[in-house]
Copies of this chain bind each other. A is one copy, B any other.
């Protein structure tokens, strides 16, 4: 039986999961593909830790470049993480004609264009299903299942840490800091949670999806990114009174000559299935001309779900090798000469619905001052709610708007914040609700 030899570079959590599947499900995979996926090499700086895997028959090395130099190795799995070393490893592997699997979203988001081009020029496969949404088959769905569709929009919950924290605040009114501490205690957040809670990890994933869905170069640096550290239980509670949950969303819309691509907390209606995605789960809704909406939902992180996606990629690449059909599917859905450079819409130019919360004095005339400024900037109010009464002290004044342009909103809020009847900075949360009628 033919053997496909695999070099696993990096044996941390996900790498260990990949090794587990390749070892423990070797016969299963063999029976399915009619060939053996042979884990020949593991490279890691730490070869001592007991990972619960039997390393016999596997060559161990601390040098990630060693398996790349081995002519027997067919596929290299980059699980090292970080940018620079991973990049040079992948480029070297491509240069040696190896097929490559990676889950390194930060690297792909920041330097993917270079890597995709190198792989396409060399005619090797570069697969990265595990980089977005863990086990959710979103990349295969875009590249293959939806190949006859024009994708119009994607909205996703792509970071389990943020979704856990927001679910926790929603469930019991925790403060952000306490929900974060609990996420850390449960292993759902890193000691330094910045990448997750500030929305950067979500933006890495969105950059990859946007590129694939619309056949365009990756453009991470122009994605608008806003995290969840400013979200309070007060706003979540108000949102729920209006029929919304607050989620950290990755939003991408094909606007023709430009593409919207943004990450921020947003209110979504209870009717929207994304609204009910709880805990560390991820989910993505795609809107396309033929299918309408589809939603894919599952574990977006974790050892085995992510490893499952890596193994799916490995089998795809192995099947290509077994049938001499490497590069059967273009890396970015379309061949490189069809990949366009489409600019992202600046956040000031987007039009959406807004939730504002002002801390305003409970006094006649205050509402008129605020709505006067909003009216001056053509921001049309859908509803106004004053929460409680307190003579001569601030109360929350909440407003929901019709469609408005962000630039106008920024100007209006900045002017309103200068009013002496308004204390604290106004709170702005976007409402993502395609289906709700104006």
Give A contacts to B, CB under 8 Å: 17, 21, 25, 28-29, 31-34, 129, 135-137, 140-141, 144-150, 215, 273, 276, 288-299, 304-305, 307-309, 311-312, 314-316, 319-320, 322-325, 328-330, 333-335, 338
Write out the residue numbers on chain B whose beta carbons fall within 8 Å of the beta carbon of A319: 325, 328-329
A299 touches B308 (CB 8 A): no
A249 and B129 CA atoms in complex are apart in Å by: 30
A318: min CB distance to chain B, Å: 10
A293 touches B298 (CB 8 A): yes
A312 touches B146 (CB 8 A): yes
A298 touches B299 (CB 8 A): no
Given A29-B147, A137-B137, A273-B273: A295 and B294 within 8 A (CB)?
Answer: no
19 A-B interface contacts by CB (under 8 A)? A25-B148, A25-B150, A32-B215, A148-B307, A148-B314, A273-B273, A289-B304, A290-B304, A290-B305, A290-B308, A291-B304, A294-B299, A295-B295, A297-B297, A320-B325, A323-B323, A323-B324, A323-B325, A323-B328
A145 touches B324 (CB 8 A): no
Given A323-B325, A324-B323: A147 and B333 within 8 A (CB)?
Answer: no
A144 and B127 CA atoms in complex are apart in Å by: 13
B325 touches A29 (CB 8 A): no
B323 touches A307 (CB 8 A): no
Write out the residue numbers on chain B whose beta carbons fall within 8 Å of the beta carbon of A323: 323-325, 328
Q: A295-B296, A322-B328 are in contact. List 17 more A-B contacts (CB 8 A).
A: A17-B290, A21-B148, A25-B149, A31-B215, A31-B334, A32-B215, A32-B333, A136-B294, A137-B137, A140-B140, A140-B145, A145-B308, A147-B315, A290-B304, A295-B295, A295-B297, A325-B328
Name the one of B290, B320, B335 contacting A21, with C-beta atoms under 8 angstroms. Answer: B290
Nearest B residue (CB) for A298: B294
Given A290-B135, A293-B298, A299-B292: A34 and B147 within 8 A (CB)?
Answer: no
